[in-house]
Amino acid sequence: MALGFQDDEFQKVCKELEEPQVAGWEFFTESHGVTIYRLFNEKSGLYQYKIYGTLDDVDPQVCADVYMDLEYRRQWDTYAKELQEIEADGKKLIYWQVNFPFPLWNRDYVYSRELRTLDYQGKQMWVVLARSEATPSLPERSGVVRVDDYVQCAVLSTDGKVGTKAYMHYYDNPGGNIPTWLINWGAKTGVPQFLTIMQKACRGYPEYLSKKTSS
């Protein structure tokens, strides 16, 4: 079932990996081989982010598989309270509920996602696009805030050695009564931390698959 992503959207993300488009963006932070830029959204008071980095010892195919494997993510991502593929309003979507610390309410997302493997200028690239979807048949749950403004994309390719060269674009507005300064502070620490945890998950993926196959 088509999810509504256009070919040029995938091409644009591939270009970003090879030729970073950061004119007008503010350098935000750099750590553990990851460089992050941000752009202020005047309407929401929040930032969107561009993240460039390298996972030194992770193959891009493995990285893409881990990125797409919801069952595995439920094991390594402690913030994912619920994560599953669903069907709503005639579309195959992802439902994702995220644990927020007390006294904040949890947030949930309903979004479409698509992975394509492309040849871009002679390089194989794994591209994932995701964005929130309106789902009238799936109303908000009591005590959980629905995030309806969420966009994420990622592209992965070889770093020319044994690792992965990666680019990610990310924006979401968690809504509710969280101060914007707190959300922006959380992004500064949360994004690099997530990539570090994901890299560890990629290293453990072959063992996970082996146990899953043998069980």
Mean pLDDT per 10-residue section of the chain, whose length is 215 residues:
77 94 93 88 90 91 96 94 93 94 90 96 96 93 94 95 93 85 75 83 94 83
**Domain topology for 7-214:** Alpha-D-Glucose-1,6-Bisphosphate; Chain A, domain 4 (3.30.530)
Which residues, including other chains, have CB under 8 Å from residue 134's CB and lie 6 or more apart? 148
User: Quick one: DSSP state of residue 139?
Assistant: P
The predicted pLDDT at position 89 comes to: 86
* Cα separation, 105 vs 73, whole angstroms: 22
Please compute Rg for the chain using Cα positions: 17
pLDDT (0 to 100) of residue 177 = 77
> Is residue 209 packed enough to be buried (19+ CB in 10 Å), middle (13-18) or exposed (0-12)?
middle
Structure confidence at residue 214 (pLDDT): 81
Listed in sequence order, the residues at least 6 apart from 159 whose beta carbon sits closer than 8 Å to its beta carbon are 54, 56, 165
pLDDT for residue 104 = 86
So what's the pLDDT on residue 70?
Answer: 97
Q: What is the pLDDT of residue 183?
A: 78
Angstrom distance (rounded) from CA 92 to CA 69: 15
Domain ranges of the chain: 7-214
pLDDT at 186: 74
Residue 156, CA distances (Å) to 13, 55, 76, 165, 166 in order:
10, 10, 20, 6, 5
Q: Please give the pLDDT value at position 83.
A: 97
* pTM, two decimal places: 0.91
